[in-house]
Chains A and B, each alone.
Chain A
Amino acid sequence: MAIVFQKPKALSDVPLHYCPGCTHGIVHRLVAEVIDELGIEGSTIGVAPVGCAVFAYNYFNCDMQEAAHGRAPAVATGIKRANPENIVFTYQGDGDLAAIGTAETVHAAARGENITIIFINNAIYGMTGGQMAPTTLVGQVTQTSPYGRKVEAQGYPIRMSEMLSTLEGPSYIKRCSVDSIKNINDTKRAIKKAFQNQIDKKGFSLVEVLSTCPTNWGLSPVEALDWLRENMIPHYPLGTYKDIDAEQKA
């Protein structure tokens, strides 16, 4: 029988632990496809976060290092500086990248570290059971904002891509979504560019991927995709926030 569809080589053949309908699986696959297509499996090193993607080291078929919560960009910096020939990426959620590890994120970007960051933004802390994140939308119900996030008490959701794009350090910052086939294809192109930039020694690249958390949002997978489109995209507009290639052309 002819094989018409298979897992990328950079993805190990084990069941994912993610909840049904969670979009982590899609983004894992996109990263793995890019690693395959760029032929960098043997030289790629990943850094896993704390959060739902904590077991990423089980899924990516490359050497992986587990970082303490939020420290992945600093750990990745160390790996990359020690061996600049390796392709080094981090895979982090919003609790890791935009809360406890904000300092590491900002300073790795400011230094223009030649690493690739995949940032999963699902507007909630997933692994600990659905508490409010810095990315939680105003009015969004979570375990620690049971009547919705209130600006007076908890402030505003943080837009990481916009904030980081004000720095001179990064070479590429793009926000994507995996809510539709078109957007999944766009996300893959962005991830590929973020890895290619590293190969080309262009410096810090970050792809923010708007993702769903059906379990902690209390929605079915399909409803969760609708919720993402109707609520997250208006607050977190998709698009390229920084691209030194485009700047040079302009």
Chain B
Amino acid sequence: MAKRDRLSGNEAVAVAMRQINPDVVAAFPITPSTEVPQYFASFVADGKVDTEFIPVESEHSAMSACIGAQAAGARTITATSANGLALMWEMLYIAASSRLPVTLAAVNRALSGPININNDHSDTMGARDSGWIQLYGENNQEAYDNLIQAVKIGEHPDVMLPVMDCYDGFITSHAVENIELLEDDEVKAFVGEYNPDFYLNDRENPISVGPLDSVSHYFEHKRLQAEAMKNAKKVILEVAAEFEKLTGRKYGLFEEYMMEDAEIAIVVINSTAGTAKEVVKSLRAKGVKAGLIKIRVYRPFPVDEIVKALKKVKALAVLDKCDSFNAAGGPLFTDVTSALYGRADGIKVINYIYGLGGRDVKTDDIEKVYERLADIAKTGSVGEIYNYFGVRE
């Protein structure tokens, strides 16, 4: 039986963690993710979970402790943001390559510098090649649902990769919204027991984790890692189907909003999708064939599926809440355009960088993007591809 409640995104994720009852949580506080381990520490102190909670001295140690715990056969969860994620960088790659399905609540915050505590996606976007599965969520419900699914996805024998549950700092992490929670036993039954094939101190099967992997085998191991990421797409959809049976909430690789006959569309990630859907609704009321795609699964990137969803669109804008500093466009733009290349040529695609460091995103801003797309669709003239909105120039 689902329970309705009102929770902030961080509180919802902490509740999901309590319901999952992981073996180990190691964390270091950083705004805006601090509340996740903080709420969880109270569950530990009150005996509501059996978790070993380790308040380590840095994120570098937090992820190292998670790696050690997961290698020892423990289900492990942590949370961080921005510079905390950056300090974990070295270990992110090691968790992924050691095939340790650690789960991380990644509360999106602008990465220093300059130092800033507000939301954009420069932290997790920078980790897009670390070998972690990345799920993104628009609101508290999706942050909660994605965390529960993340555990099951990462631990699947065909995957065995760590997973980030990414959601927007403050906008999602701190705003209180209505939410539907599962019963504790439903979550426990859904995620099941963590029983990895290999773990430290299994006396029948002695192993070493993370030994030197030289010229003779390194490449093959990276190739297997790449294959695991390909496998993840199917597993993510299977887990979503099972989750839908339990909750009635449908998850895919991305959400298509009014895309069926859309002539102009935007691709966007996380909470801005909520703002943009309002714009799509009002444009539809005026007869404009506008649509929206909200990416849920960014790693692995749903190349074939996104091409299928976009191929009838005349003009497309990709919105990046993060800049790549490649003098060409943001990371999501690069992925979307490279997916389209050779598969759906002829679609006019532009890129907007927006909302850096928590700059507010208004419906007016997004309306202007659609106006420009309508003009491009009409005239066929694209103009500048790499654009910004909401910034003083």
A residues sitting closer than 8 Å to B (CB atoms) are 50, 54, 66, 68-70, 99-100, 102, 125, 127-129, 131-132, 134, 143-147, 153-154
* B115, A50: Cβ atoms closer than 8 Å: yes
Closest chain A residue to B56, Cβ basis: A99
Interface string of B87-124 (1 = CB under 8 A from A): 10000000000000000000000001111000000000
> B85 to nearest A CB, angstroms?
12
* B115, A54: Cβ atoms closer than 8 Å: yes
* A100, B57: Cβ atoms closer than 8 Å: yes
Q: Told that A66-B113, A99-B57 touch, could you supply 8 new A-B pairs with CB distance under 8 A?
A: A54-B115, A66-B115, A99-B28, A125-B29, A128-B29, A129-B34, A131-B38, A145-B41
* B58, A70: Cβ atoms closer than 8 Å: yes
Contact partner of A128 (CB less than 8 A), chosen from B34, B45, B53, B60, is: B34
B residues sitting closer than 8 Å to A (CB atoms) are 28-31, 34, 37-38, 41-42, 45-46, 53, 55, 57-60, 83, 87, 112-115
A127–B58 alpha-carbon span in the complex (Å): 15
List of A residues within 8 angstroms of B37 by Cβ:
144
> A201 to nearest B CB, angstroms?
32
A67–B83 alpha-carbon span in the complex (Å): 12
Report 7 cross-chain contacts, Cβ distance below 8 Å, ordered by A residue.
Answer: A54-B115, A66-B115, A129-B29, A129-B34, A131-B41, A134-B57, A144-B38
List of A residues within 8 angstroms of B45 by Cβ:
145-147
Q: A68-B83, A128-B34 are known contacts. Are A102 and B41 too (CB-CB below 8 A)?
A: no
* B28, A100: Cβ atoms closer than 8 Å: yes
> A73 to nearest B CB, angstroms?
15
* B38, A143: Cβ atoms closer than 8 Å: yes
Contact partner of B55 (CB less than 8 A), chosen from A50, A68, A132, A147, is: A132
> A181 to nearest B CB, angstroms?
34
> A49 to nearest B CB, angstroms?
11
In order of increasing CB-CB distance, the 4 nearest A-B pairs are A100-B58, A144-B41, A128-B29, A99-B57
List of B residues within 8 angstroms of A154 by Cβ:
55
* B55, A131: Cβ atoms closer than 8 Å: yes
> A16 to nearest B CB, angstroms?
18
* A144, B55: Cβ atoms closer than 8 Å: yes
Determine which residue in B30, B57, B112 has the highest number of CB atoms from chain A within 10 A of its CB, and name it: B57
> A17 to nearest B CB, angstroms?
14
